[in-house]
Amino acid sequence: MYETILSPINYGGLTLKNRIIFAPTSMGLPREQWLERMRTISAGGCAMIIIGDVPVSKHGFGPSLYTKKGRALYQELARIVHGEGCLLCAQLHQSDSNLKAMLKYVPGVLGKKISMEQLRPLLNEEVGPYITGLPAKKVQEITDSFGVAAGLAKEIGFDMVQVHGDRMCGSFSSPLYNHRQDEYGGSPENRARFAVEAVEAVRRALPDIPIDFKLPVRQETPHYGNAGVLEEELGTFIPLLEEAGVTSFHVTLANHGSLTDTIPPRSHPYFGEEGCFLKFCDRVKAVTKLPVCGVGGLTDPDFVERQLAGGRIDCAAMSRQLLADPNWPKKVAEGNLAHLHRCVRCNRECLGGMMAHRGVHCIYDQKEEQS
């Protein structure tokens, strides 16, 4: 009944056993809880897990590819995930946070005069000056580090790398943040240069590895997303990224706005429907023949099957749905739909847990603990 969902696909040179991917998610969980969550999701039948925000620099946030402790964690993760017949992708990430600017807000946060929700827009205001003022030599050092990090990820056991097209890549792409007057600013071609050079660095380091690109799309009518690529500029960015070495695209809404826009609840005024970001995939599909992965409130097997079978997307990425029910792929394969835990997109324990610094969870976790 769900032939397309369950069918294998050549995803940019990597064979996936089905079309379901766990979308990159910052979990905020202790080590053992995180590893167990990844084991549960991989055992549930999805084809690949994308590990979000893997730092490309030695001093980035999160487990490091450059330290013994970080490498040991990722090696254990690869062992667990591969043991469940699932593939593993590292989302290579460079933050665009201005650390010096962040320090001035620390007293307010510690004194609880600035909430985490208030802190986010304050930090976003610092992105433009930071991106615009980065010396070109430093920019090149950062883009080169994507290649170094990719090599380390491959050695550890990752099957694929994804270049995080938001964060610093997305800020360079957007004229709302990028006011540079050199070769990295101005025209769409110049604003794409950071992302292109990051991909080229990965391709030089690993000539044969599949390179996914998280493509953040910004729209203006109405306005959502501040970083990323304007819809009208996709025709410029995508061919440049393909030429640099990208083999597939993971399409979503651009960041640097409200978290409830990029992780929209069902009550969202604009992105409340199932498959809320797939309209951006339509724009991308018109420009490329490479595989395209869609994301955005995907929960219903019938809906997902129609999008895949009709060629609107080639793979479906889920985060909240696989947190709600890691066994979604297995239950779909077995026809056990009556026992699916459907994500209701309440954001209470996933986004809410992240914002409260207690880690990403789900309302279904509480119900299982009580039963």
Spatial CB neighbours of 67, under 8 Å, sequence gap ≥ 6? none
Task: For residues 352 and 117, give the distance between their C-alpha atoms in angstroms, rounded to a whole number.
Answer: 11
* Beta strands 14-16 and 9-11, pairing class: antiparallel
H-state helical runs in the chain: 3-6, 31-43, 68-83, 99-103, 106-110, 116-133, 136-156, 167-173, 188-191, 193-205, 234-244, 259-262, 278-285, 301-309, 320-324, 328-334, 351-355, 363-370
Element (H, E) at 220: strand 211-220
Element (H, E) at 181: none
- Which value, to the nearest 10 degrees, does the dihedral of the CA atoms of residues 341, 346, 348, 354 take? 90
Task: For residues 43 and 38, give the distance between their C-alpha atoms in angstroms, rounded to a whole number.
Answer: 8
Both tokens of 257, joined, read 């706005």
Element (H, E) at 275: none
The single-letter DSSP state of residue 337 is G
Sign of CA dihedral 352, 354, 359, 360: positive
Q: Catalytic site residue 193?
A: no
Q: Give me the catalytic one of 167, 218, 283, 345.
A: 167
Task: For residues 2 and 19, give the distance between their C-alpha atoms in angstroms, rounded to a whole number.
Answer: 11
Bridge partners for 93 per DSSP = 55
Q: Which of 23, 37, 5 is nearest to 296 (CA)?
A: 23
Query: Which CA distances in Å does 246 have to 103, 174, 213?
Result: 36, 20, 6
Burial class (CB in 10 A: 0-12, 13-18, 19+), 153: buried
Give the residue numbers marked as catalytic.
Answer: 167
